[in-house]
Chain A
Amino acid sequence: MKKYQILVIMRNRPGILSKVSGLFSKRGFNIDGITCGVSEKKEHFRMTITVIGDESFVEQVKRQVAKLIDVVKVQILDEKKVVKRELALIKVKSDSENRLEIIKIVEIYRAKIIDISHEALIIELTGDSNKVEGLIGVMDKFGILESARTGISAMHRGI
């Protein structure tokens, strides 16, 4: 079992997201994550779908996705060539006593604090999933009030 990222480029038509998610539920595939937005061409949507499974499983997922009429391109991203990023917003309990400690940790992670109030602050972090999980792990002891993750966006290096 491994995590795979599948890149999907789709025609920008109404209802495409439900066509993709519908396909996953119909086939009983689990989506570990999905990110979606306009690509470099406005008529195309770009999705990064993360799934967990073995090689034959992602291959089957790829073929089923490729069958959707609105899909222009599908590619299983190559682990060695891929750049993966995820954005996370983490709201942590914080008072004047531990604020400095948190700021130091945030610096080490090269994250940013984007909001501070009396009892809490919000951290913005982009990075690969390990980094996001790392920071969440460390922040746990302060008390995480909310966290929002976008899921992975990915792209191959070079051309």
Chain B
Amino acid sequence: MREINGAEIILEILQEHDLNTVFGYPGGSVLPIYDALHSYREKIDHILTRHEQGAAHAADGYARCSGKTGVCIVTSGPGAANTVSGLMTAYMDSTPMLVITGQVSVNNLGTDAFQELDITGVTDSITKHNYLVRSIEELSDLLREAIYLTENGRPGPVLIDIPKDIQTSKMSYDNFQNSCSSEYNTVSEYKYIYEKPKKNETDEFIEMIRKSKRPVILAGNGVMKSNSSKELRKFSKKFDIPVATTLLGLGILPAEDRYNLHMLGMHGTAYANYAADEADLIIALGMRFDNRVTGNIHRFCKDAKIIHVDIDEAEIDKNKRADLHIVGDVNLVLKALLKYKAEGENKVWMNRVMELKKKYPLDRNFSTDYILPQYLISKISELTKGEAIVCTDVGQHQMWTAQYYNFNRINSIITSGGAGTMGFGLPAAIGAKLANPNREVIAILGDGGFQMNSQELMTISEYKLDIKIIIVNNSFLGMVKQLQEVFYEKRHSFVKLEKNPDFVMLGRAYGIDSYLAETPVELDKLLGEIFSKKRSALVNCIVSKEENVFPMIPGGKSVDEMIMSKEEL
């Protein structure tokens, strides 16, 4: 009788779900899985990162631009613990991700055995769900359920902890095959049903649009996740409604689209923030009124009625009370709304919006003989026509990327929005490139955050991934420096990175073509060069140290306290 062991079951089920790129790092309690990976190497690509955090972020980046679940395999204890930042990041941004952790054998559970960690306990609050598998019989059901959960309803990370002896236990292949679905369907009482919105809901929706004079759409990650870019574009045009997006919503409309107000919130464009503030109707689609978006929640869009569409019912009324809500998939809601007749244009409001756009553009005065970070991003945007996948780290460079990169395509900004995890950008770019070998992938990083996962340069080099690595080097933990300037009377406390390694030498040590750019002229030449080649490159861009991100609505404040430039500080 043919038999199959737990480790093989795991790989069979990954394959069954077409998940054949996995990121990971081996160790004692996943040895059986790694042994099986050796036999499955024709069918499953395993990418060895240099740190488990890198593996988790890479799986996240992979998921964000492939639409598939990102998979990460790590060993128990320290290996599992190293995925915590990755799980939190994925959880906050609703990335479908599966983390498989090895665990000590069942009979050692709870004994503080070598490398034992109660990882389900640790990750309860940063996973959509997690499991500790207790027998080989339940392994396949739980694993299938786990994968199902990652992507169904509101996506999110799921962790499954599998003791080593379960990886080596065997069952008959026939039993494994027959175990499919029957119980798994009943176990999974969680079934997100994608239903069309009810007619009375969409009737009321349209009625509220008709009654409003100054509607604004706020589009978030949910619009991206439900693949609704096309529908949103049609909808905003048909009903003549401008669209502001969250950080993760960038790219939902092409940058130049007339209706696109770009990002709103703390470092959003002034015109998006003013438009939202003047609105009498806010149509929030797949966004959750995060405080980086709203500032002072009580004063946010205080004169507006609010319609909230979200797949997660718990988001309704969580931060901001909605006058009408629809729980469901944004795509189905938009499709239903598109069936209604529009009342024609709303010239007065659109004129006002255009006026705001004209009056408060982003500052584009770049004529300096040193490199302005804003110039750097604009240049990259220009060179790649806003078509690249841009992975960022966290900090000022992230906000400048959001402001100055003209995102023209969906799933193109890969950034830690909800969690703000430094160290995310470089490994995420690895996942992004593997998911999209044919698109240009750029990692834009601060000199601080780059050093949090710079070991992943080796992964890029080893797998010959064509990733352009841009270090926005201001010798500061820039964003924190900015906060100290605004809130702590410019007392710079431990934010200066006086001693950085020589990034060019560092890049070269990992086998990556690396360059230094200190002036705009050098920069132009270098960027032109690296983007013309299909191989990875690193550019250490020395940018001005003084620059801060504007506009800025200081945390907890509202639009009327927006700071437009350093002169206003």
**Known contacts A11-B189, A72-B189; is-contact A66 B313 (Cβ 8 Å):** yes
Q: Is A15 located at the chain interface by the 8 A CB criterion?
A: yes
Q: Is B125 located at the chain interface by the 8 A CB criterion?
A: yes
**Known contacts A14-B134, A15-B132; is-contact A26 B125 (Cβ 8 Å):** yes
Q: Is A22 located at the chain interface by the 8 A CB criterion?
A: yes
Chain B contacts for A18, CB-based, 8 A? 121, 124
Please report which residues of chain A, range 23-49, place their CB below 8 angstroms from some CB of chain B when the two chains form the complex.
23, 26
Q: How far is the CA of A47 from the CA of B212 in the complex (A)?
A: 45
Find A22's partner among B125, B129, B190, B314 (CB 8 Å cutoff): B125
**Known contacts A14-B134, A69-B149; is-contact A19 B124 (Cβ 8 Å):** yes
Nearest Cβ on chain A to B81's Cβ, whole angstroms: 18
Say whether A69 contacts B190, CB under 8 Å: yes
**In the complex, per-residue mask of B290-332: 1 if CB is within 8 Å of any chain A CB, else 0:** 0000000000000000000000111011100100000000000
**Known contacts A15-B120, A18-B121, A18-B124; is-contact A69 B129 (Cβ 8 Å):** yes
Q: Which residue of B lies closest to A14 (CB)?
A: B132
Q: Which residue of A lies closest to B318 (CB)?
A: A60
Chain B contacts for A56, CB-based, 8 A? 317, 321
Say whether A64 contacts B314, CB under 8 Å: yes
**Known contacts A14-B132, A15-B120, A69-B149; is-contact A59 B317 (Cβ 8 Å):** yes
Q: Is A63 located at the chain interface by the 8 A CB criterion?
A: yes
Say whether B314 contacts A66, CB under 8 Å: yes
Chain A contacts for B187, CB-based, 8 A? 11
**Known contacts A18-B121, A22-B125; is-contact A60 B317 (Cβ 8 Å):** yes
A-B contacts counted at CB < 8 A amount to 38
Q: Which residue of A lies closest to B142 (CB)?
A: A13
**In the complex, per-residue mask of B501-535: 1 if CB is within 8 Å of any chain A CB, else 0:** 00000000000000000000000000000000000
Nearest Cβ on chain B to A56's Cβ, whole angstroms: 6
**In the complex, per-residue mask of B43-55: 1 if CB is within 8 Å of any chain A CB, else 0:** 0000000000000
Q: How far is the CA of A23 from the CA of B189 in the complex (A)?
A: 20
Q: Chain A: how many interface residues by the 8 Å CB criterion?
A: 19
Say whether A63 contacts B121, CB under 8 Å: no
Chain A contacts for B313, CB-based, 8 A? 63, 66-67
Say whether B128 contacts A60, CB under 8 Å: no
Q: How far is the CA of A63 from the CA of B322 in the complex (A)?
A: 15
Chain A contacts for B149, CB-based, 8 A? 69
Chain A contacts for B134, CB-based, 8 A? 14
Nearest Cβ on chain B to A47's Cβ, whole angstroms: 16
Q: How far is the CA of A43 from the CA of B421 in the complex (A)?
A: 39
**In the complex, per-residue mask of A64-77: 1 if CB is within 8 Å of any chain B CB, else 0:** 10111110100000
Say whether A22 contacts B317, CB under 8 Å: no
Say whether B316 contacts A63, CB under 8 Å: yes
Nearest Cβ on chain A to B522's Cβ, whole angstroms: 49
Chain B contacts for A19, CB-based, 8 A? 124
Find A67's partner among B124, B189, B314 (CB 8 Å cutoff): B314
Chain A contacts for B312, CB-based, 8 A? 67
Say whether A63 contacts B124, CB under 8 Å: no
Q: How far is the CA of A70 from the CA of B130 in the complex (A)?
A: 10
Chain A contacts for B120, CB-based, 8 A? 15
Chain B contacts for A14, CB-based, 8 A? 132, 134
Chain A contacts for B128, CB-based, 8 A? 69
Please report which residues of chain B, range 100-155, place their CB below 8 angstroms from some CB of chain A when the two chains form the complex.
120-121, 124-125, 128-129, 132, 134, 149
Chain B contacts for A23, CB-based, 8 A? 125
18 further contact pairs, Cβ within 8 A, besides A15-B120, A23-B125, A69-B128: A11-B187, A15-B132, A18-B121, A19-B124, A22-B124, A26-B125, A56-B317, A56-B321, A59-B317, A64-B314, A66-B313, A66-B314, A67-B312, A67-B313, A68-B129, A69-B129, A69-B190, A70-B129
Closest 9 interchain pairs by CB? A63-B314, A69-B129, A26-B125, A22-B124, A64-B314, A67-B314, A69-B190, A72-B189, A63-B313
Interface, chain A (partner B; CB < 8 A)? 11, 14-15, 18-19, 22-23, 26, 56, 59-60, 63-64, 66-70, 72
What are 15 A-B contacts defined by CB distance under 8 Å? A11-B187, A11-B189, A15-B120, A15-B132, A18-B121, A18-B124, A22-B125, A23-B125, A56-B317, A56-B321, A60-B314, A66-B313, A67-B312, A69-B129, A69-B190
